[in-house]
């Protein structure tokens, strides 16, 4: 049994304009010592997904199950969840400046975190622990720095403080939500390195939410690709990058500027991500998909195994064998599309072909 | 500062540029730091740009990379004439346009336009898209009334927006579409140079590719030159003819794209390239990543000698004393210049035996 097992999680938010279906039936699991990368564009539901687990997305209508160490997180009362948060599952957010209180010294903030979960720890013990933690995340002169305010730290150092805070109660799982997006490349490398090193030392499970496929390629073991609130594809890192099945995954990989083709035209995914209030019929990706077939317009595909071990799963009507980027896979796709495409799908495909880059609809 | 004066060949972006559009010579921009107290005195200077020279050829794209605070945006704003420069010159088509008074600068403002990073912050939310894109016509009094509307709609069509959306507000558009609005506004007066300050950093990768393709098409159609600022090295590699790597206000390395990316000589360029995440798990696992220690120092009180020396894995005593000249290193093409006493040799491994080097596969 995995440390975290989420099954059929659904989250929607009623608004004046309609119901925003942010997460529409997502299942995944994370094991101790493993890293799950969750990738997707803005609005794909990746942040809502994890915030819901921790009760940080209030106002949502939630259904499904999220077993953490045998307890269903979604059924916990707020005060019970508060005990889990921080102590069992820690979160690191994107923006370290707004996640630290500007008026308190960082040492005070780490101390507070420790003492709010365990009252038996004295102030001086907690202070000592804060110094140790700052040293552990690589902050020089921790004994002096512990008395500094957040603004006295640089962006990378602030993110280290956030990590120190996340580690303070030795959680079993860390959720990192775009932890390096606001940082420069060289600092990002430092932080990713640190996260991995700490994870290996204490065998923590890590969920890394990011839009950057480079970060995923670097540190994830398994990858969940999200599109419009659903899992498009779920596989080991190598399958996602070298044998993608879902056209969305393939499109994401192809739209990254690549050193081997510098100066050539990029291959973007056409169009825009859909509005979560007014989702397209059938597969939510069909208005942007080059391989659209008739079936895609009416029926929503569910995640099915496309690899031998059953670990590689994709939510797409293309044949199972259409995984990969090689010519054979392309040929299988082409034949499947030829057989499955009639009136409506032909129209959608022509629209995509005739306007290779126009962003048709306004959200 | 005299020792930082680059010698004649030490100019970035000379790649086949006989047809020079913009020439920047030894540009310096210091911002005063005021002290507290009743009478505020200047107590220090932020040395944002400290002696940068470069050339932008007609129809060329110069990529400018570097970390936060390295002065790349300040340099761009100096070239665009948005802020006065402290010393040095900016020459546009042979005319010195450095610190021109407002009225005399006006004609050049048409020729040099900017696209900004934040497609949310750079468009006034209360104004309709048509009037935002039409602003340049109004300011420069080049088109009025129905003529202006027609011109705006043509521009919208050209950048891939629906001209019927002329009367909509920015909030009704997505991030990628807003960036297209910014591009249309920059194009309105048919400029010769567009300065793109992180134009795709705020966009998702699939949308980023759409905007990059649009910029490439426009360059071809209108013969535009771009000064392209970005922190994403792969994006810069994709769009640029030449690349300039800045560190703390100075040029660390510059030259044509391929030599700089394939055989970087400055340890900082090496570190940047090795730190950039590659969307390829095998490449990521095989890579020898150079982890720099510490952060970029303050530009108020930059390190003496080579500004990179406190973080440099190759630093020696000399690096803390002497400013390395920006010069061509042995074996490099004449347009590839590096400011380093101990340039990286081919095959040299800079990565320390750290954990990232050859991380075990799980």
Please report the DSSP string for B226-260 in residue order: EEEE-S-HHHHHHH-SEEEEEETTEEEEEEEHHHH
Residues of B in contact with A253 (CB under 8 A): 279
Token readout for B23 is 């020439």
Q: Find the mean pLDDT for residues B283-298.
A: 82
Distance CA A2, CA A172 (A): 12
Distance CA A166, CA A148 (A): 18
Distance from CA of A281 to the nearest CA of B (A): 21
SS3 A21: strand
- List Cβ neighbours of B10 (8 Å cut-off, separation of 6 or more): B53, B325, B326, B327, B328, B337
CB B209 to CB A269 under 8 A? yes
Q: Could you tell me which chain B residue has the CA closest to the CA of A35? A: B362
Lowest mean pLDDT among B73-77, B227-231, B352-356: B352-356
Distance CA A267, CA B210 (A): 8
CB B275 to CB A186 under 8 A? yes
Backbone angles phi, psi at A322, to 5 degrees: -80, 25
Q: Find the mean pLDDT for residues B164-189.
A: 90
Residue B333: CB atoms within 10 Å = 12
Across the interface, of A188, A252, A359, the residue whose CB is closest to B160 is A359
Is residue B5 scored above 70 in pLDDT?
no
Is residue B35 scored above 90 in pLDDT?
no
Is residue B214 scored above 50 in pLDDT?
yes
Q: Could you tell me which chain A residue has the CA closest to the CA of B239? A: A263
- List Cβ neighbours of A65 (8 Å cut-off, separation of 6 or more): A5, A6, A7, A8, A9, A72, A74
Backbone angles phi, psi at A46, to 5 degrees: -70, -35
CB B206 to CB A259 under 8 A? no
SS3 B178: helix
Distance from CA of A1 to the nearest CA of B (A): 19
Instruction: Please identify every stretch of chain A with a pLDDT value under 50, giving residue numbers as ranges.
Output: 357-363
Quote the pLDDT of residue B283. Answer: 85
Across the interface, of B206, B280, B291, the residue whose CB is closest to A41 is B206
Quote the pLDDT of residue B19. Answer: 84
Sketch out chain A's domains with CATH numbers.
4-225 (3.40.50.300), 245-354 (no CATH)
Residue B305 near residue B316 (C-beta atoms within 8 A):
no
Quote the pLDDT of residue A260. Answer: 66
Helices (H) and strands (E) in chain B, counts: 10, 12
CB B276 to CB A357 under 8 A? no
> Which of B206, B238, B290, B362 is most worth mutating to test chain A (most A CB atoms within 10 A of its CB)?
B206
Residue A81: CB atoms within 10 Å = 19
Residues of A in contact with B204 (CB under 8 A): 41-42, 211, 273
Distance CA A352, CA A339 (A): 19
CB B281 to CB A238 under 8 A? yes
Token readout for B215 is 């910029």
CB A359 to CB B177 under 8 A? yes
Residue A78 near residue A31 (C-beta atoms within 8 A):
no
DSSP bridge pairs for B245: B65, B253
Quote the pLDDT of residue A361. Answer: 38
Give Cα B56 to chain centroid, integer Å.
12
Q: Find the mean pLDDT for residues B226-250.
A: 92
Distance from CA of B296 to the nearest CA of A (A): 9
CB A255 to CB B172 under 8 A? no
By CB atoms closer than 10 A (0-12, 13-18, 19+), residue B18 is exposed
SS3 A272: coil
Residue B9: CB atoms within 10 Å = 12
CA Rg value for chain B: 22
CB B362 to CB A221 under 8 A? yes
> Which of B159, B170, B205 is most worth mutating to test chain A (most A CB atoms within 10 A of its CB)?
B205
CB B212 to CB A258 under 8 A? no
Q: Could you tell me which chain B residue has the CA closest to the CA of A184? A: B67
Q: Could you tell me which chain B residue has the CA closest to the CA of A188? A: B275
Tell me the torsion sign for CA atoms A320, A325, A329, A331. Answer: positive
Token readout for B103 is 């009225």
Residue A42 near residue B204 (C-beta atoms within 8 A):
yes
> Which of A184, A196, A258 is most worth mutating to test chain B (most B CB atoms within 10 A of its CB)?
A184
Residue with tokens 């995923």: A216
CB A189 to CB B291 under 8 A? yes
Quote the pLDDT of residue A61. Answer: 92
Q: Could you tell me which chain A residue has the CA closest to the CA of B170? A: A362
Residues of B in contact with A251 (CB under 8 A): 206
Distance CA A52, CA A69 (A): 17
Quote the pLDDT of residue B360. Answer: 40
Is residue B1 scored above 60 in pLDDT?
no
Q: Could you tell me which chain B residue has the CA closest to the CA of A182? A: B68
Token readout for B47 is 């040395």
Is residue B228 scored above 60 in pLDDT?
yes
Quote the pLDDT of residue A362. Answer: 38
Distance CA A323, CA A291 (A): 13
CB B279 to CB A213 under 8 A? yes
Distance from CA of A321 to the nearest CA of B (A): 22
Nearest to A234, CA basis, from A50, A42, A74, A40: A40
CB B207 to CB A187 under 8 A? no
Distance CA B50, CA B47 (A): 6
Q: Is the ipTM of this complex over 0.85?
A: no
Residue B206 near residue A214 (C-beta atoms within 8 A):
no
Across the interface, of B168, B176, B204, the residue whose CB is closest to A211 is B204
Distance CA B9, CA B346 (A): 23
Is residue B45 scored above 60 in pLDDT?
yes
| pLDDT band at residue B173 under the 50/70/90 scheme | confident
Residue B147 near residue B193 (C-beta atoms within 8 A):
no
Quote the pLDDT of residue B2. Answer: 38
Q: Find the mean pLDDT for residues B251-257.
A: 94
CA Rg value for chain A: 22
- List Cβ neighbours of B340 (8 Å cut-off, separation of 6 or more): B252, B253, B265, B266, B267, B306, B324, B329
Nearest to A226, CA basis, from A234, A235, A238, A216: A234
Please report the DSSP string for A66-105 in residue order: EEETTEEGGGS-HHHHHHHBTTTEEEE-S-HHHHS-TTS-
Is residue B31 scored above 60 in pLDDT?
yes
CB A268 to CB B209 under 8 A? yes
Residue B67 near residue B252 (C-beta atoms within 8 A):
no
Q: Could you tell me which chain A residue has the CA closest to the CA of B268? A: A186
A with B: how many residue pairs have Cβ under 8 Å apart? 152
pTM for the model stands at: 0.87
Token readout for A84 is 């889990």
Given the DSSP bridges, would you call strands A313-314 and A304-305 parallel, antiparallel or unpaired? antiparallel
Who has greater pLDDT, A42 or B159? B159
Residues of B in contact with A237 (CB under 8 A): 281
Residue B332 near residue B265 (C-beta atoms within 8 A):
yes
Q: Find the mean pLDDT for residues B5-24.
A: 62
Quote the pLDDT of residue A259. Answer: 66
What value, to the nearest 5°, has the Cα angle with vertex B49 and ends B43 and B51? 110
Residues of B in contact with A179 (CB under 8 A): none
> Which of B280, B311, B351 is most worth mutating to test chain A (most A CB atoms within 10 A of its CB)?
B280
Task: Count the alpha carbons within 13 Å of B195 in the hemisphere toward its beta carbon.
Answer: 22
Distance from CA of A88 to the nearest CA of B (A): 24
Quote the pLDDT of residue A1. Answer: 78
Residue A198: CB atoms within 10 Å = 18
Quote the pLDDT of residue B13. Answer: 52
DSSP bridge pairs for B255: B243
| Average pLDDT over chain B, rounded to an integer | 87
SS3 B320: helix
DSSP bridge pairs for A173: A89, A205
Residues of A in contact with B68 (CB under 8 A): 155, 184
Nearest to A111, CA basis, from A168, A194, A185: A168
Across the interface, of A217, A255, A273, the residue whose CB is closest to B278 is A217
Q: Could you tell me which chain A residue has the CA closest to the CA of B216? A: A265
Residue B290 near residue B264 (C-beta atoms within 8 A):
no
By CB atoms closer than 10 A (0-12, 13-18, 19+), residue B287 is buried
Stretch (H or E) spanning B4: none
């Amino acid at each position: 049994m995995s440390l975290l097992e989420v099954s059929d999680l659904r989250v929607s938010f009623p608004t004046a304009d309609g119901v925003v279906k942010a997460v529409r039936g997502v299942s995944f699991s994370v094991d101790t010592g493993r890293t799950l990368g969750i990738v997707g564009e803005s609005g794909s539901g990746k942040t809502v997904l994890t915030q819901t687990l921790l009760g940080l997305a209030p106002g949502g209508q939630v259904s499904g199950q999220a077993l953490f160490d045998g307890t269903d997180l979604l059924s916990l009362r707020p005060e019970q969840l508060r005990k889990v948060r921080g102590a069992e599952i820690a979160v690191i957010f994107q923006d370290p400046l707004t996640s630290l209180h500007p008026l308190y010294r960082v040492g005070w903030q780490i101390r507070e975190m420790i003492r709010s979960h365990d009252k038996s720890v004295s102030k001086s013990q907690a202070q000592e622990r804060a110094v140790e933690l700052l040293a552990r995340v690589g902050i020089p002169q921790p004994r002096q720095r512990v008395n500094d305010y957040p603004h006295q730290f640089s962006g990378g150092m602030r993110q280290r403080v956030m990590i120190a805070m996340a580690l303070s109660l030795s959680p079993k799982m860390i959720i990192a939500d775009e932890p390096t997006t606001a940082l420069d490349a060289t600092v990002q490398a430092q932080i990713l390195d640190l996260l991995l090193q700490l994870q290996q030392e204490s065998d923590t499970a890590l969920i890394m939410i990011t839009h950057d496929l480079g970060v995923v390629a670097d540190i994830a073991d398994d990858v969940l690709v999200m599109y419009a609130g659903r899992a498009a594809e779920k596989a080991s890192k190598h399958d996602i990058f070298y044998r993608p099945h879902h056209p969305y995954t393939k499109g994401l990989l192809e739209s990254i500027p690549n050193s081997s083709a510098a100066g050539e035209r990029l291959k973007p995914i056409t169009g825009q991500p859909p509005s979560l209030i007014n989702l397209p019929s059938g597969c939510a990706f069909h208005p942007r998909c080059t391989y659209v077939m008739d079936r895609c317009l009416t029926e929503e595909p569910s995640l099915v195994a496309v690899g031998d071990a059953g670990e590689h799963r994709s939510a797409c009507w293309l044949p199972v064998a259409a995984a990969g980027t090689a010519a054979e896979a392309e040929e299988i796709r082409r034949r499947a599309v030829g057989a499955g495409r009639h009136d409506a799908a032909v129209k959608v495909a022509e629209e995509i072909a005739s306007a290779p880059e126009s962003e048709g609809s306004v959200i | 500062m005299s020792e930082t004066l680059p010698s004649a060949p030490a100019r970035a972006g000379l790649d086949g540029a006989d047809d020079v559009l913009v020439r920047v010579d030894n540009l310096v921009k210091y911002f005063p730091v005021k002290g507290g107290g009743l009478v505020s005195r200047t107590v220090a200077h932020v040395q944002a740009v400290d002696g940068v020279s470069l050339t932008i050829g007609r129809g060329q794209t110069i990529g400018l990379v570097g970390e936060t605070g390295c002065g790349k945006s300040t340099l761009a704003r100096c070239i665009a004439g948005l802020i006065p420069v402290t010393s040095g010159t900016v020459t546009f088509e042979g005319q010195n346009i450095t610190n021109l008074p407002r009225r005399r600068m006006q004609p050049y403002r048409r020729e040099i336009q900017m696209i900004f990073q934040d497609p949310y912050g750079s468009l006034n939310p209360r104004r309709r898209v048509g009037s935002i894109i039409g602003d340049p016509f109004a300011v420069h009094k080049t088109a009025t009334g129905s003529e202006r509307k027609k011109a705006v709609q043509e521009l919208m069509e050209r950048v891939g927006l629906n001209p019927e959306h002329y009367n909509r507000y920015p909030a009704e558009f997505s991030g990628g579409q807003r960036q297209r609005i910014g591009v249309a506004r920059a194009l309105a007066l048919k400029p010769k140079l567009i300065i793109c300050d992180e134009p795709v950093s705020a966009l998702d990768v699939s949308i980023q590719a759409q905007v990059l393709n649009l910029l490439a098409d426009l360059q071809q159609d209108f013969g535009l030159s771009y000064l392209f600022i970005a922190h994403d090295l792969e994006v810069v590699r994709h769009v640029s003819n030449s690349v300039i790597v800045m560190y703390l206000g100075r040029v660390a390395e510059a030259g044509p794209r391929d030599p700089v990316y394939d055989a970087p000589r400055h340890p900082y360029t090496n570190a940047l390239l090795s730190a950039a995440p590659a969307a390829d798990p095998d490449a990521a696992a095989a890579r020898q990543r150079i982890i720099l220690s510490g952060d970029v120092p303050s530009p108020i009180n930059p390190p003496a000698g080579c500004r990179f020396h406190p973080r440099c894995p190759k630093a020696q005593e000399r690096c803390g004393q002497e400013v390395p000249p920006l010069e061509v290193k042995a074996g490099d093409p004449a347009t590839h210049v590096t400011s380093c006493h101990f340039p990286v040799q081919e095959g040299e491994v800079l990565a320390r035996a750290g954990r990232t080097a050859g991380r075990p596969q799980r």
